[in-house]
Amino acid sequence: MKFKSILSTKLIIVSMLWLLSNAVLAQVKGECIDSLQCESSWVGLSEEDRADVFAFAEDYKTFIHLARTELSFVAEAIRFAQANGFEELTDSTSLSPGKKIYEVNRDRTISLIVVGEDSIQSGFHVIGSHIDSPRLDLKGRPLYEKSEFALFQTNYHGGIKYHQWTNLPLALVGRIDQKNGNSVNISVGLHLSDPIFMIPELSPHVDRGRNSQTLANFIGPEDLDPVIGHIPESIEGGGVVDQILLYLADRYGVSRADLVSAELSLVPAGAPRDMGFDRGLIAAYGQDDRLASYTAMRAVAEISNPQKTTMAFLVDNEEVGNRNNTGARSDHFADLLSRLLYSELGDDYREPLFRSALRNTRFISIDVNPGVNPMNPSAWELGNAPKLGYGVNLKLYGQGNNANSEFVAWTRQLLDTNNVPWQTSTYKVGSASGGTIGGEFSSQNIEVIDFGVPLLSIHTPFSVSSKVDIYSLYRASLAFYGYRD
């Protein structure tokens, strides 16, 4: 009897090991276990689906080439909204089902809304993301001369690696606001006929004394000053800065003092480009997080008759902590929802009804995140790492930062029902981190989950996305907006 018991135990152990090895082998072979995406989304795409992926990517590249900052994104988004039947929200706007409206906050955030069949009291379906990206901003008094060059003093917006911004063609974009109320738009460097600006690095012939320095000390934040001019005002005298001032006055009608009230940014001048022989990847500036904002905007424009009122809520200043009155931490979102509810209820509006609408709202916060890098895969714990080409990822941070399990389950069902490929993402414990706008909305008693799309080289001048992931995120957004209870 004892021998039979030992034999049975061994058989059970062997069977369990066999099942476990088959499960691991299935993952290695690319077979899906449960609903997780265990093979590249490119595998098995029909010719028609592949054509849709590539066509969507072309539209995306065209848009983000011009939408380089929150100001230019909003300007381009307004044109998109109006071309797709959206009207600007006013005090007299009627909120009939199917009505498409947009609302702009201080030229730096935009919301695109489609009114649903259900009462606004029953809550919204909102996708939120941010439209600012790491960049260099001009200081309040930026113009100076050094070694007979004119330069701009800069500060950085968001987390960057300083050395990556040297010897890089830069464009100057933004606007200058004058005391008389005029606003002067600036865009120099995005077109091939434009001049560009650049932060010059030392050549290897003369920098040997710096080779022993660490990378963190090689270029500092005060070293990120681009050359903007070289020709003196005249042979008789006058510095190169005087020549730049004359140019600014003649070309734009602005003075040195006007630069104090300017919002000017230096961004990589290069256009988005396909990457790889197969053209499956996109290398572009600003994909964090205009990738998510574009897909949300495209999706909401294609919803005609939703059950819940749907919204793409696209905000500023996530890269610096969601601050200011155009960031997610402001009261603008609550004010907008309150305004919509008041338009529906009129004098019957009450604060508890507004709070109930918040409680009944589902919110997807989308922000990109680092994907597994082939040069440094050890930066991830690979069992929970998102990979390019494997679809959208659900961010499961742990430590009290996850969406609740029932909302994660609801989201899985939504994605699986609509055949949207997805994966999960958890940073390596204790050695990596990242933030989104999601926390600002969960604190308002809204049901929030964080989505992402994996990129290579986030926060560098050119990050890399997979075209099929962008399209999957768009399809996920369509599914969420079109969901019916």
Contact present, 120 and 85 (Cβ < 8 Å): no
Spatial neighbors of 294 by CB under 8 A, at least 6 apart, are 60, 63, 64, 67
Contact 170, 197 (CB under 8 A): yes
**pLDDT tens profile 20-76:** 444 444 444 334 545 456 799 999 899 999 999 999 999 999 999 999 999 999 999
Q: How far apart are CA 53 and CA 61, in angstroms?
A: 12
Among 3.40.50.720, 3.30.565.10, 3.40.50.2300, 3.40.630.10, name the CATH number for the domain at 47-133+285-481: 3.40.630.10
Predicted TM-score of the model (pTM): 0.90
d(CA 168, CA 425): 32
pLDDT computed for residue 54 by the predictor = 98
Give the model's pLDDT for residue 20: 46
Q: Output the CA angle 329-335-341, nearest 5 degrees.
A: 140
Q: Which CATH number fits domain 135-268: 3.40.50.620, 2.40.37.10, 3.20.20.70, 2.30.250.10?
A: 2.30.250.10
pLDDT of residue 141: 96
Hey, where are the domains in the chain?
47-133+285-481, 135-268
**Partner residues linked to 187 by β-bridges:** 173
Give dist(CA 428, CA 376) in Å, integer.
Answer: 13
| Helices and strands: H and E segment counts in the chain | 11, 20
Ramachandran class of 93: left when φ > 0, alpha when ψ lies in -120 to 50, beta otherwise: beta
Is residue 361 within 8 Å of 340, Cβ to Cβ?
no
Per-residue pLDDT tens digits for 60-99: 999 999 999 999 999 999 999 999 999 999 989 999 999 9
Query: How many alpha carbons fall within 13 Å on the CB side of residue 462?
Result: 17
For residues 371 and 345, the answer to whether their CB atoms sit within 8 Å is no
d(CA 480, CA 477): 5
Q: How far apart are CA 384 and CA 386, in angstroms?
A: 7
CA distance 224 to 427: 30
Which parts of the chain register pLDDT below 50? 1-4, 7, 12, 14-31, 33, 35
Structure tokens at 182: 């005029």
Find the angle CA(455)-CA(458)-CA(461) to the nearest 5 degrees.
120
